[in-house]
Amino acid sequence: MKYRFPDNFLWGAAASAPQTEGAALIDGKSKTIWDYWYEIEPERFHNGVGPKDTSNFYFNYKEDIKNMKNINFNSFRTSISWARLLPDGINVNDKAVEFYNNVLDEMNKNNIKPIMNLFHFDMPLIMQEKGGWENREVVEGFKYYAKTAFRLFKDKVSFWTTFNEPIVPVECGYLADFHYPCVKDMKRAVEVAYNTMLASSKAIKEFKDMKCEGKIGVILNLTPSYPRSNDKEDVKAANLADLLFNRSFLDPSVLGEYPKELLDFIKENKLTPYFEEEDLNIIKENTVDFLGVNYYQPRRIKKKESEIKDTDILMPESFFDYYIWADRKMNPHRGWEIYEKGIYDISINIKENYNNIPWYVAENGMGVENEKRFIDDKGMVIDDYRIDFIKEHLKWLHKGIEEGSNCFGYHLWTFMDNWSWLNAYKNRYGFYRVDLENNLNRSLKKSGEWFKEVSKQNGFN
């Protein structure tokens, strides 16, 4: 076999509670920012589809886990809903405990290793009303939530992660208008990013203090920033993008401290958040055991080609511009660049600059709009484009592993088509199709059949 992966390699997929569970406001779960935002601005959501029902994993988990087993998953990552487990932030919801215990038992019974994440963009509304990640009281609330989850489920979970893509609520909620609370303020964005990092470290400290068995990590979307040229200003711009979007979480999570260049930039632009000296010790002493890495597309950066006006709101893009690479290959169904080598570049960066920490591909995937047009006469989605996408990324990942990068798994986003924030079901990513017009029935796509053999063989020719 030409592309064989290490023994005990994790093959599976990733999902999240808010995107799959449904049952948004039943069995004691309180509102998240998504439930609230949909109530007040339903027109912002694609086709008016909000978070209420999603893919109904809450009711269908047994069938879904059976489907995972059917295509030889040995692992699956999802998240716990903070608003379901602690609806008022303090008291445990017994219905939630029962549900998560049932899910974990079902996964373990089927030899599917659970990787449980604590936060996937789904801030409980009661916490957002206190200021969300701008308020250190919410950091303490998250620490309490993490401690509660560890206490309840630690015997059934050996891989935990604190956050999925913590830069995304910063970027989409405080620098752009894509996530609630739709603030555009770089100073507040830095505050949110810092407090999120502190919350992650405090959760890790609880995990260690409780002497939980297993490992705890974080999942970061490490989007490589490639400069347009070797021109000094282009390289400087790409380095700044990397500092802001990647290293702002990567360095403190793995190395225990922020890059000096980033701190200098924050200070120079009067963006320094409130912090206490003890915070820095907590961050330094509570680094992750492993990394999850989400990779979809690269970031192409060039120097800023227009002056910043005094009237402009300060944003990361005040300091650099994006550009279109002439040789780029596109996903025509989604509008994103496909650059498979990026996953290799990430693997070597982790090996050379981050102590070769154990890591896995926590998300990689290809979204396709209107996938119904690829259904054959037997009702199967013939998604050869997704097979090619996964295969080419796995080839580059294999090369990184052969060169010594300590990667232990690959997870696709996602197991079954699921609801995605403002886009609802517009872009499909799953191994299984979810039929919105027929009771959310699941049906295997061609890529799922292909992946079944890859995971069985631990590689492919």
Domain that holds residue 126: 3-460
Domain with residue 417: its CATH number is: 3.20.20.80
Q: What is the mean pLDDT of the chain?
A: 96
Could you say which DSSP state residue 44 is in?
G
pLDDT of residue 371: 94
**What is the dihedral sign for C-alpha 296, 20, 131, 197?**
negative
Global pTM reads 0.96
Distance CA 150, CA 157 (A): 9
Helix axis angle for 277-285 and 186-209, nearest 10°, is 50
pLDDT of residue 1: 75
DSSP state letters, 144-155? HHHHHHHHHHTT
pLDDT of residue 308: 72
Alpha-carbon dihedral of residues 301, 305, 308, 314, nearest 10 degrees? -10
Catalytic residue among 21, 171, 363, 371: 363
Active site residue 165: yes
pLDDT of residue 311: 60
Active site residue 392: no
Tell me the pLDDT tens digit for each residue of 162-179: 999 999 999 999 999 899
Catalytic residue among 106, 165, 171, 340: 165
Domains contained in the chain, number: 1
pLDDT of residue 334: 78
Tell me the pLDDT tens digit for each residue of 425-436: 999 999 999 999
Question: Which residues in the chain come in under a pLDDT of 50?
Answer: none
Distance CA 388, CA 371 (A): 16
